[in-house]
Amino acid sequence: MARLRGHGLALDLGPGWEGQISRRSPGRGETTHPVLHAATFALPPTRGDFGSGAVETMQPEDILVTLLEHHPDATGTPLFSASGPPFPLRPDSFSPTSLQRMLPGQSGMQAFFTWRGRALCLYVVLGSHFLRARLVRRVNDVLSTLAVDPPPVTP
Amino acid sequence: MVKHSKGAVLRSPAMHGGALAILVTVEAVAIGLLGLLVAGLLRSHAEVLRALHDLGAGLGEAHDHGPTPAMAQPQREAATDAVDLVGTTPAEDPLAVAVTNTRHSTLLAFLSSGCLTCAGFWEAFRDPGGLGLPDGVRLVAVTRGADEESVSQLRRLAPTEVPVVLSSAAWDDYRVPGSPYFVLVDGPSGRVTGEGSAAAWPQVVSLLRNALEDATAHGQGPMKRRSLPARWSTDAEREARADGELMAAGIVPGDHRLYPSAVEEPAER
C-alpha cells in the first residue's frame, strides 16, 4: 500500500489507486494551498483542481477523490462551519447534478468543512451513478486513511 | 663588425649561428611545454569522462549492455512482480503512480537528466501524440530521487503530458542497470513482461510492439490488454450512436430526463 504524504496531508492508497498532493507556486501577492487527487485510473499530469482533464477519461467503475484546502481565513465562515470530515459518505450523498462538469453517467458530491483548523473541500466523482453503492465503499476505504495535520504556526 | 655607409650593421657569421642556436633551443623548450600541456589536458579529460561514467552520466552508452539491445528479452529468468511507484514530481510534490491492478500496461522509461542519450527521449516525450505507443500502454518517466538528480534540470526537461516520478526506490525495485532503460509492466497481472535499453524512441516502439505480439501469441497478460481497445472502440461507437439518437429526440447533455431522481440500486450479490 502506497503512503502519499506532503503539505500536511496524508493518505494510504490501496491496490489500483494512485494520487498526488500538489501545491502550485504562488504568483506575486497570491497564496496557494494544497490539492490532493486520488484516483483508480491513470491521472493525466495536466488537470484542473476539480479534475477537469481527468474525469473525461473515467470508466464506469472509476473514482476520483479531490481534497482542496482553502485560505485559513475561510475557517469559521458559514460555508466551512461543518466541523470534522463528512465521511463515511453515503450513496445518497451523490448526484449527477453535483458534478463540476456534468458527464453522462457520472455522479458527484461536494462538502465543505473545517478539520484541525484547516478549511477543506471534499469533492468526489464516481464513474457511474448506477454503481454508486459499490463505489462509495471504495471511497470510504481510502478516505478512512486520510490524515490532516494542523496548520503550521506562523510567528 | 663592418659599418656600411648608411649605418646598417651586419652581424658576423659566428654571431648569426649563436642566435639561431638560442632560437632553436627556445622553440624546443616551447614545443616540450606544449606537449606536456596537451598530455595534461588529455589526462584531465579522461578523468572527467571516468567521473561522469561513475555518476551514471556517461556518453549515453547503455551500461553493461553492449550495443543498444532495445527492449531485449527480460534479464530476469521469469516475469517478476512489478511494484507501484511512489516518489515526487519534479516540483517535489508527493506522487504515487499505480502500475499494478490497472486496466492498462505501463512502459516505465528510466531516464536521467544528465545522460546524452536520454536527451532524445526527453525531447520525444514532449509530443506524446507522436510517440506511436500501442493502445492501452501508458508511458511514465522515472528518474532517481531528488537527492541524486538535478531537480532544476528535470524541471526544464519534464514533459507536460507524461508523468515524471523521481524515485530511487523504483530504480532499486526494478534493478535498473543504467539509463536509458525501459520496463514494460502488464497492469492486470502486475508482472514485468519486457525490459531493455535503446538508443532511440523508434527502437523502443518497434520492440514494444514485438513484445506485445509475443505475449499475445503465448497467451500472456498483454493479450487481455490488447483486446481492450477493440471493446473500448465498440463502446465508443455505441455511445456515439446513443448520443446521436438522444440528440435527434431533443435530449441534450444536462437534460433532466437523463437524471431520474430515483434509480434502483443494483442487487447485492
The continuous run of DSSP H or E covering A107 comes out as strand A107-115
The answer to whether residue A30 sits within a structural domain is no
The answer to whether residue A29 sits within a structural domain is no
What is the span of the domain harbouring residue A94? 2-24+40-148
Q: Look at residue B177 in the predicted model and tell me its pLDDT.
A: 93
Cα B208 from chain centroid (whole Å): 15
Identity of the residue numbered B241 = R
ipTM of the complex: 0.94
The answer to whether residue A69 sits within a structural domain is yes
Pairing of strands B94-97, B9-10: unpaired
pLDDT confidence bin for B164, thresholds 50/70/90: very high
- Identity of the residue in B86, B101, B164 whose CB atom sits nearest the CB atom of A15: B101
Percentage helix, strand, coil, to 5, in chain A?
Answer: 15, 30, 50
For each of the domains in chain B, give its residue range(s) and CATH number, in order of start. 85-225 (3.40.30.10)
Range B75-80, long-range pairs (CB < 8 A, 24+ positions): B75/B175, B75/B195, B76/B192, B76/B195, B79/B191, B79/B192, B79/B193, B79/B220, B80/B191, B80/B192
- CA–CA separation, A139 vs A144, rounded Å? 9
Chain A nearest-CA distance from B62, in A, is 28
Best probe of the B interface among A20, A35, A41, A56, by most B CBs < 10 A, is A20
The answer to whether residue A117 sits within a structural domain is yes
**Is residue B222 predicted with pLDDT exceeding 90?**
no
Half-sphere exposure of residue B15: CA atoms within 13 angstroms, side-chain side: 5
Average pLDDT over residues B227-242: 49
**Is residue B67 predicted with pLDDT exceeding 90?**
no
pLDDT confidence bin for A22, thresholds 50/70/90: very high
Cα B222 from chain centroid (whole Å): 23
Task: Please tell me the least confidently modeled range out of A132-136, B24-28, B136-140, B152-156.
Answer: B24-28
Q: Look at residue B221 in the predicted model and tell me its pLDDT.
A: 43
A7 sits in the region (left: phi over 0; alpha: psi -120 to 50; else beta) called left
pLDDT confidence bin for A91, thresholds 50/70/90: very high
CB within 8 Å of chain A, chain B residues 64-123: 84, 86, 89, 91, 93-98, 100-104
The answer to whether residue A110 sits within a structural domain is yes
> Could you tell me if B226 and B212 are in contact, meaning their C-beta atoms sit under 8 angstroms apart?
yes
A137 touches chain B (CB under 8 A): no
Average pLDDT over residues B105-130: 94
Q: Look at residue A43 in the predicted model and tell me its pLDDT.
A: 97
Q: Which residue of B has its CA nearest to A12?
A: B96
Q: Which residue of A has its CA nearest to B235?
A: A59
Q: Look at residue B41 in the predicted model and tell me its pLDDT.
A: 78
Domain count, chain A: 1
Average pLDDT over residues A70-92: 94
* Sheet hosting strand A2-6, strand order edge to edge: A2-6, A9-13, A147-148
Q: Look at residue B62 in the predicted model and tell me its pLDDT.
A: 39
The answer to whether residue A93 sits within a structural domain is yes
**Is residue B95 predicted with pLDDT exceeding 80?**
yes
B/e letters for A116-126, b = 16+ CB within 10 Å, e = fewer, are: eebbbbbbbbb
The answer to whether residue A155 sits within a structural domain is no
Average pLDDT over residues A56-69: 97
> Do the Cβ atoms of A16 and B98 come within 8 Å?
yes
pLDDT confidence bin for B237, thresholds 50/70/90: low
The answer to whether residue A99 sits within a structural domain is yes
Residues in chain B with CB shorter than 8 Å from the CB of A133 are 265-266, 268
| Cell numbers that stand for B49 in this block | 569522462
Residues in chain A with CB shorter than 8 Å from the CB of B236 are none
